[in-house]
Amino acid sequence: MFGFTTSSAQSGSAGAAAEGGVETRNQAANKHRRVGDDGSRSDDFQEAVLEKLTELGNALGQMNQGMKDLELRFDTILTQKIQEVNTSIDVRLAALEEQGNAARERERAQLQLEIRTEMAAQAAVFKNEIAQLKGASEQQDRTARATHMVVKGVPEKPTEPVTVANIGQIIPGAEHTAMEVRRLGREKETAGALPRPILVKFRSVDAKHAAYKHSKTLRAKKIYLDTDLTPAQREQRTGKRDRFQHLKTQGARPFWREERLFYYVNGAVKEDSCTPPGPPPPTAGVPSGSGPRRQGSSGQAAPRRASP
């Protein structure tokens, strides 16, 4: 505190000068006293001079004390102001730091949002591509199975395996149009197990449609003709199995056409809408796998029955 040091020095010098002045005046008074003694001056004059000198010394002492008080007060005020300035600076620095942190946080949040948006867009593109690939694969699978038929309920005879040569005993005329006939799955050794279904691959879709004409006769024998479903179609049909059983207990005579569920209402055929329908069967020249459909009582084409 250069200012403070200078003030102290000045005040000290002033005090010293004041003390020196007092001493000088005392000496002068003594001299006057001696002069008075020698020159026979009156004692009243000497006393008046001493009194004035004493008053002057006291005034100088008071001034010195006032300067010291003023210096102390100035130091106190200056220290207080410095503390206030430092506090203000700290507050402003903290505010600037907080603003910087907030700006960085906003920038990071914006960056995260942009990254999430970009990732969501990429994910949507990937999902769309996967869906297209699955759709194309499903279409190809349905096309490959368009000439296939699954026959259920035919008893198994180990000594008489089902072949192309004897499939005509089950489906009349099929021995001339079938290319391949075989049981699906492994042979079951459990007594009373249901017979394994038979996969029949025809030479054409028309040949398969011709085989469907025997559906009614075969149902009387507990033999059912069904479409060779893709894994996706089987999954959709499984999801509607409870609904099928419910309609059956209601006497609605439910039946399947591929993965789609139908039933009868007042003699008319109606597609079930209580469960989400599966994808539509292949179109654009790809046969759906069913034979010619009969007319229902409402005049619309009735879907071909499949196995329960």
> Which residue from 220, 169, 176 is spatially nearest to 198, judged by alpha carbons?
169
Instruction: Name which of 51, 31, 47 is nearest 39 in CA terms.
Output: 31
Provide the whole-model pTM: 0.53
Quote the pLDDT of residue 75: 85
pLDDT for the residue numbered 63: 81
Please write down the HEC assignment for all residues of 142-190. HHHCCCEEEEECCCCCCCCCCCCCCHHHCCCCHHHHEEEEEECCCCCCC
- CB-CB contact of 304 with 279 (8 Å): no
Question: What is residue 46's predicted lDDT score, i.e. its pLDDT?
Answer: 78
C-alpha 198/C-alpha 176 separation (Å) is: 17
Q: What is the pLDDT of residue 7?
A: 43
By CB neighbour count within 10 A (0-12 exposed, 13-18 middle, 19+ buried), where does 133 fall? exposed
Q: What does the alpha-carbon distance between residue 189 and residue 183 come to, in Å, rounded to a whole number?
A: 15
Q: Give the per-residue pLDDT at 277.
A: 47
Contacts of 211 (CB under 8 A, 6+ apart): 149, 171, 173, 174, 177, 200, 202, 225, 291
Per-residue pLDDT of the chain (308 residues; tens, 9 = 90+): 344 444 444 444 444 444 454 455 555 555 545 544 444 456 787 788 788 888 888 887 888 788 888 888 888 888 888 888 888 888 888 888 888 888 888 888 888 898 889 889 988 998 898 988 888 999 999 999 999 999 999 998 878 889 999 999 999 999 999 999 999 988 877 777 889 999 999 999 999 999 999 999 999 999 999 999 999 999 999 999 999 999 999 999 999 888 999 999 998 999 998 755 445 444 433 444 444 444 443 344 444 555 55
- Number of Cβ within a 10 Å radius of residue 15: 17
Which tokens is 156 given?
A: 């198994």
Reported CATH class of domain 147-228? alpha beta
- pLDDT at residue 45, rounded to an integer: 78
Q: Can you give the pLDDT at residue 274?
A: 72
